[in-house]
Structure 1
Amino acid sequence: MSDPQDVHNSADEETAGEGAAPAKSGIELAREALAQAKADALKRGTLPGQKRKGNGRVVRVREPGRGGDPKLFGAAIRDLMASRGWEQRAAVGGVFGNWAGIVGAELAEHTRPDRFEDGELTVAADSTTWATQLRLLSSTLVRRLNEELGHGTVRKVKVVGPSSGPRRTGAWRAR
């Protein structure tokens, strides 16, 4: 059984002969490359992220878009989510996590949000009675969800009741 991190070619081992040193694994090669890069930076008198000016002085190089004063955690997370386009997904996740707070404890006890795709929220109910109740409240629920998520995020609520299982094929049967 070979080591999963050992990425050298097994054909090289067979042709290497008995007196030759075994080929190095990928991890060993990466460690050597890192050690060599550190040694080269030390010879230049710099560290990663630093650069020498013409007068020999070491200057810290900042990555673009980074640096400046520290931000509050909440603001930093909001900026990250906005830059990656995750705002709506996070808001929908918040609805799934706070379902009882949005629809009320009694309704949440018998229903659960199942998925959200293309403005349609699918909600599963544990009985046909609760599915009917939720269908009657669907316009109110869409309005309430759009207050939470932003106007136009939820266009439709699809309610799914419990399934009775697959139907038998063939003729109708009397019992």
Structure 2
Amino acid sequence: MAAESEDAGGAPDGAGAVDGAPRGADLARRALEEARARAAAQGKSVGKGMASPQRRQQRRPSRRRWSGPAADPRDPQTLGTLAASLARRRGWNRHVAEGRVLGCWEEVVGDEIADHAAPSSLNDGVLHVTAESTAWATQLRMVQGQILAKIARAVGDGVVTKLEIRGPSAPSWRHGPRHVSGRGPRDTYG
């Protein structure tokens, strides 16, 4: 009985050729041989995939190389370096620079200015600065160009394009929902 099935199909049950057409593993083997022949005819290297012993020797050196005393990308990195590279990759550089202007104000503009003025907000390149007195607000308006240059050196060009400097605000005398419009107290805050 087994002999009859071999003779009828030309191969054992389920494999080989039926009526001269290859099937199963024979079909895959023939397709692979044809693909290798076409690749060899085009001048491509055949049989040098990832599992090839030649490829393995190229990928792994015979001796492991250590980083040594010089800096190496495999060495541990500082948090600041990693954060800077993450911000650069994600396109957050502008937001980080804006945060640096507000967060490191004393380092950016210097101790003297930072002692008498503080940034309140940064919107669309306009930095709002509040001075402790009207005299300091006037002084800062006069050196506005120098302050912008210091900010540009510290965080980069284009982060702050304009300064809006305000003096201290006088207390409001409006207590409650109703008020009388008019001159108000004149000789108290001059």
**Matching residue of 2:125:** 119
Query: Corresponding residue for 1:72?
Result: 77
Alpha-carbon RMSD: 2.6
Match of 1:102 in 2: 108
- The answer to whether structure 1 residue 91 and structure 2 residue 97 are counterparts is yes
Equivalenced residue count is 108
1:88, 1:149 within 8 Å by CA — same for their partners in 2?
A: no
Distance 1:70 1:141, change over 3 A: same
Q: Which amino acid in structure 1 is aligned with residue 102 of structure 2?
A: F
Question: In percent, how many aligned pairs have the same letter?
Answer: 33
Question: After alignment, is 160-169 or 130-139 more displaced?
Answer: 160-169
Q: For 1:123 and 1:171, locate their aligned partners in 2 and report how far apart those are by CA, in whole Å.
A: 29
| Paired residues for 1:1-80 under 5 Å | 69=74, 72-73=77-78, 74-80=80-86
Match of 2:181 in 1: 170
Q: Which of the residues 165, 174, 181 maps onto 1:159?
A: 165
Match of 1:38 in 2: none
Deviation at 1:161, TM superposition (A): 1.1
Mapped partners of 2:154, 2:81: distance in 1: 19
Match of residue 134 from structure 2? 128
SS at the partner of 1:171? coil
Aligned residue identity for 2:115: E
Residues 10-51 of structure 1 deviation map (CA, whole Å, 9 limit, x = unaligned): xxxxxxxxxxxxxxxxxxxxxxxxxxxxxxxxxxxxxxxxxx
Q: Deviations over 1:110-165 (max 9, x none)?
A: 10111111111111111111111111111111111111121222110111111113
Q: Which has the larger strand fraction?
A: 1
2:122 is paired with a residue whose SS is strand
Tell me which amino acid in the other structure corresponds to 1:72. Answer: Q
- Please give the alpha-carbon distance, in whole angstroms, between the structure 1 residues aligned to 2:107 and 2:81: 25
Letter in 2 for 1:98: C
Distance of 1:140 and 1:97 partners within structure 2: 20
Residues 104 and 70 from structure 1, CA distance in 2 versus in 1: closer, same or farther, beyond 3 angstroms?
closer
TM-score if structure 2 supplies the norm length? 0.49
> Given the two structures, how large is their TM-score scaled by the length of structure 1?
0.53
- The DSSP-based 3-state class of the residue aligned with 2:84 is helix
SS at match of 2:181: coil
Contact 1:134 1:159 (8 Å CA) reproduced: yes
